[in-house]
């Protein structure tokens, strides 16, 4: 089966010869599949999403490797063609809806932007589609919400608006970057359920970035565990959360408190595990030459 | 049975609703805490859990009397401190300490770790403040060279340890910890939780621990109160509340926690 997204040996660094932020990352996501990217802060999970979307911060760039989307290498495409392709087929659900939405514009326009400016729809059709999507994300009064400004609706509602915006153009791939981290647990569950339903209905592939081992266990069939920009474990959730995780993945799971096992001792990631990972990373860096 | 350290009876707080303020005249009042009654027993850890807007931080601020309740009574160690003024509160202040969620914004960036931990003791004229500060830092595993560092030179977990050391410095009788592990990576969070568990045991602390994370509450707290919209919907020993939640809201909160086990059915459960 050919993958919708295949990343091969991706290296991203700060400046030429500067520190590497992603170290030989390879992964693939099939159409309609959900793949989780987990790790602690600074592990590079968001960086992968940014590299795919072509929105790496200034000074940070892809040094080698390929990002194949539907067979085309995004890193080799001319800028305009890449922007067009990404705009049409890849969408992002960001973490913080309040900073992602423009506070001075009504919500409706912010959903239709993409449809009008990238896909060239006319305004009426785009508005109808936006209303339909808000309805799909279980917003009761789509008309009112489209007229509202972001500060006038709740946090959970804003996150749903961004989900609606992401699904609006029927993208083949959605990159969700910690979309539920700021939400209450009950709202988080509603939002995750919603993403799952929409994804199944539209056949969208999902790359789900999170630091929460619980969320990834519930949502993703397969995942990559990152440490210092390196994939240290990759495979089906059934294995990683089951019999045979990498020691670091095992340690992250053991560090997660769970209400159903209060007597089990809560272990921070052991220093020996970190030392082994650091040694691996250092060895990989010695072999790496900036091409 | 010993008298509880903190006794809240029908505790209420109403604040002016500035969003609904008319152009002229006073803003209508909105009730944030709607008559809460509970105890914090000596040497115990009380968990306060609820979602955003439930009033848990506001309640915490009332307990350490940063806010003045507008109704009911609040007793600390037998004293009615509900409406105690600054002077009357002064003798309790050092006994009511707080650990904040974001140590980066609560620690002065221009002060060294040692100075930060000494500060509350200097304020109260504690003798040998420096020795005592080093001792407390040792307790939170920040001994030695850490004393000379500045907040920006520390990791998130280390900064939170400084926040804990500062709260412990005056050997207070009550500590309020408001979401102190929620901004941390899971491994760091595990370290801080273990540290707190140890300190509670060793130092016989009385703690109110505010969190939205039921798994953390289950580990750390002896008793728990579940808040929703300014009301206590359920209260009791943590083990009992978790084993058999009596209120549907508690059950809902519990069911919403994603445990790290693969389970595709979890999303579609009601």
Residue from the list A41, A193, A259 with its beta carbon closest to the beta carbon of B218: A259
Give B234→chain A minimum CA distance, Å: 17
pLDDT of residue A182: 79
φ/ψ bin of A47: left (φ > 0), alpha (ψ from -120 to 50), beta (otherwise): alpha
Interface test with B, best of A257, A270, A272, A273 (most B CBs within 10 A): A257
The CATH number assigned to the domain holding A142 equals 3.40.50.300
Q: Which of residues A253 and A117 earns the better pLDDT score?
A: A253
The residues facing A6 across adjacent strands are: A28, A68
Q: Are B132 and B169 in contact (CB under 8 A)?
A: yes
pLDDT of residue B135: 95
Whether residue B193 and residue A257 make contact (CB cut-off 8 A), yes or no, is yes
Give tens-digit pLDDT for A3-13: 999 999 999 99
Structural domain boundaries, residue A164: 5-287
Give A214→chain B minimum CA distance, Å: 4
Whether residue A266 and residue B190 make contact (CB cut-off 8 A), yes or no, is yes
Q: Give me the torsion for CA of B18, B22, B23, B26, rounded to 10°.
A: -70
Q: Which residues of B touch A242 (CB under 8 A)?
A: 262
The verdict on B251 touching A (C-beta cutoff 8 Å) is no
Q: Which residues of A touch B215 (CB under 8 A)?
A: 256-259
Mean pLDDT estimate for chain A:
91
- Domain map of chain B by residue range? 102-172
pLDDT of residue B21: 80
* Candidate from A35-39, A55-59, B18-22, B28-32 with smallest mean pLDDT: B18-22
Whether residue B51 and residue A215 make contact (CB cut-off 8 A), yes or no, is no
Mean pLDDT to the nearest integer, A178-196 = 88
Whether residue B267 and residue A269 make contact (CB cut-off 8 A), yes or no, is no
Taking the C-alpha atoms of residue B7 and residue B79, their distance in angstroms, rounded to an integer, is 10
Q: Give me the torsion for CA of A48, A238, A201, A33, rounded to 10°.
A: 40
Q: Are B142 and B165 in contact (CB under 8 A)?
A: yes
Mean pLDDT to the nearest integer, B99-104 = 85
Interface test with A, best of B260, B261, B265, B267 (most A CBs within 10 A): B260
Whether residue B258 and residue A155 make contact (CB cut-off 8 A), yes or no, is no
Give B247→chain A minimum CA distance, Å: 15
Q: What is chain A's alpha carbon radius of gyration, rounded to the nearest angstrom?
A: 20
CA closest to B264 among chain A residues: A218
Q: Which residues of A touch B267 (CB under 8 A)?
A: 189, 192-193, 196, 218-219
Question: Comparing C-alpha atoms, which of B216, B258, B255, B256 is closest to residue B238?
Answer: B216
Mean pLDDT to the nearest integer, A124-137 = 90
pLDDT at B1 over 60: no
Number of domains into which chain A is organized: 1
Mapping DSSP to helix (H, G, I), strand (E, B) and coil, where does residue B137 land? helix
C-beta neighbour count of B126 within 10 angstroms: 16
Taking the C-alpha atoms of residue B221 and residue B207, their distance in angstroms, rounded to an integer, is 9
Crossing angle between the packed helical segments B156-168 and B129-139, to the nearest 10 degrees: 130
Crossing angle between the packed helical segments A123-136 and A107-117, to the nearest 10 degrees: 120
pLDDT of residue B109: 94
Q: CA–CA distance from B28 to each of B12, B16, B24, B62, B228 (Å)? A: 16, 6, 12, 21, 22
pLDDT at A152 over 80: yes
Mean pLDDT to the nearest integer, A211-229 = 95
CA closest to A259 among chain B residues: B215
Segment 198-217 of chain B within 8 Å of chain A by CB: 212-217
DSSP 8-class letter at B27: P
Give tens-digit pLDDT for A39-85: 999 899 999 999 999 999 999 999 999 999 999 999 999 999 999 89
Crossing angle between the packed helical segments B248-255 and A185-202, to the nearest 10 degrees: 50
Whether residue B212 and residue A184 make contact (CB cut-off 8 A), yes or no, is yes
pLDDT at A141 over 90: no
Give tens-digit pLDDT for B37-76: 999 999 999 999 998 889 999 999 999 999 999 999 999 9
pLDDT of residue A157: 87
pLDDT of residue A226: 97
Give A37→chain B minimum CA distance, Å: 15
Give A89→chain B minimum CA distance, Å: 26
Whether residue A241 and residue B52 make contact (CB cut-off 8 A), yes or no, is no
Q: Which residues of A touch B217 (CB under 8 A)?
A: 259
pLDDT of residue B44: 95
Q: Which residues of A touch B212 (CB under 8 A)?
A: 184-185
Whether residue B186 and residue A213 make contact (CB cut-off 8 A), yes or no, is yes
Whether residue B267 and residue A193 make contact (CB cut-off 8 A), yes or no, is yes
Biggest alpha carbon distance in chain B? 61
The verdict on B257 touching A (C-beta cutoff 8 Å) is yes
| Banded pLDDT at B182 (limits 50, 70, 90) | confident
| Banded pLDDT at B222 (limits 50, 70, 90) | very high
* Candidate from A89-98, A197-206, A252-261, B142-151 with smallest mean pLDDT: A89-98
pLDDT at A1 over 60: no
pLDDT of residue B270: 66
Residue from the list A40, A215, A259 with its beta carbon closest to the beta carbon of B214: A259
């Amino acid at each position: 089966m050919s993958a919708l997204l295949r990343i091969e040996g991706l290296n991203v660094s700060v400046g030429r010869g500067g520190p590497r932020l992603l170290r030989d990352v390879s992964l693939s996501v099939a159409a309609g599949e959900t793949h989780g990217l987990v790790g602690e802060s600074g592990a590079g999970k968001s960086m992968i999403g940014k590299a795919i979307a072509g929105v790496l911060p200034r000074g940070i760039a892809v040094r080698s490797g390929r990002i194949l989307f539907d067979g085309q290498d995004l890193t080799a495409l001319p800028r305009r063609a890449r922007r067009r392709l990404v705009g049409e087929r890849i969408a992002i659900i960001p973490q913080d809806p309040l900073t992602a939405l423009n506070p001075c514009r009504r919500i409706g326009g912010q959903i239709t932007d993409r449809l009008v400016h990238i896909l060239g729809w006319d305004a009426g059709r785009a508005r109808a589609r936006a209303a339909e999507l808000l309805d799909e994300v279980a917003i009761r009064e789509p008309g009112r919400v489209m007229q509202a400004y972001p500060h006038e609706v709740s946090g959970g509602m804003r996150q749903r608006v961004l989900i609606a915006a992401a699904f609006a153009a029927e993208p083949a791939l959605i990159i969700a970057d910690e979309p539920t981290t700021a939400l209450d647990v009950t709202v988080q569950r509603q939002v995750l359920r919603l993403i799952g339903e929409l994804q199944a209905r539209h056949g969208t592939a999902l790359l789900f970035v999170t630091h929460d081992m619980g969320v990834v266990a519930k949502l993703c069939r397969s995942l990559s565990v990152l440490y210092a920009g390196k994939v240290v474990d990759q495979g089906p959730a059934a294995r990683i959360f089951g019999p045979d995780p990498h020691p670091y993945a095992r340690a992250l799971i053991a560090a997660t408190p769970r209400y159903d096992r209060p007597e089990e001792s809560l272990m921070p990631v052991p220093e020996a595990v970190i030392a082994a990972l650091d040694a691996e990373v250092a060895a990989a860096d010695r072999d790496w030459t900036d091409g | 049975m010993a008298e509880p350290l903190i006794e809240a009876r029908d505790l209420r707080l109403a604040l002016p609703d500035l969003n609904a303020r008319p152009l002229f005249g006073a803003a209508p009042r909105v009730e944030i805490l709607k008559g809460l009654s509970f105890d914090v027993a000596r040497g115990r850890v009380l968990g306060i859990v609820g979602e955003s807007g439930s009033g848990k931080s506001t309640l915490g601020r009332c307990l350490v009397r940063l806010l003045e309740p507008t109704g009911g009574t609040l007793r600390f160690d037998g004293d009615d401190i509900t409406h105690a003024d600054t002077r009357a509160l002064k003798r309790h202040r050092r006994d009511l300490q707080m650990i904040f969620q974001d140590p980066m914004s609560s620690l002065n960036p221009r002060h060294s770790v040692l100075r930060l931990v000494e500060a509350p003791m200097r304020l109260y004229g504690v003798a040998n403040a420096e020795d005592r500060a080093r001792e407390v830092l040792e307790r939170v595993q920040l001994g030695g060279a850490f004393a000379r560092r500045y907040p920006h030179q520390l990791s998130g977990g280390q900064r939170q340890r400084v926040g804990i050391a500062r709260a412990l410095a005056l050997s207070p009788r009550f500590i309020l910890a408001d979401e102190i592990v929620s901004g941390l990576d899971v491994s760091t969070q595990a370290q801080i939780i273990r540290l707190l568990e140890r300190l509670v045991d060793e130092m016989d602390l009385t703690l109110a621990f505010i969190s939205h994370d039921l798994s953390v509450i289950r580990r750390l707290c002896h008793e728990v109160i579940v808040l929703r919209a300014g009301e206590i919907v359920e209260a009791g020993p943590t083990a009992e509340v978790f084993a058999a939640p009596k209120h549907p809201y508690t059950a809902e909160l519990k069911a919403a926690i994603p445990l790290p086990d693969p389970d595709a059915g979890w999303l579609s459960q009601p």
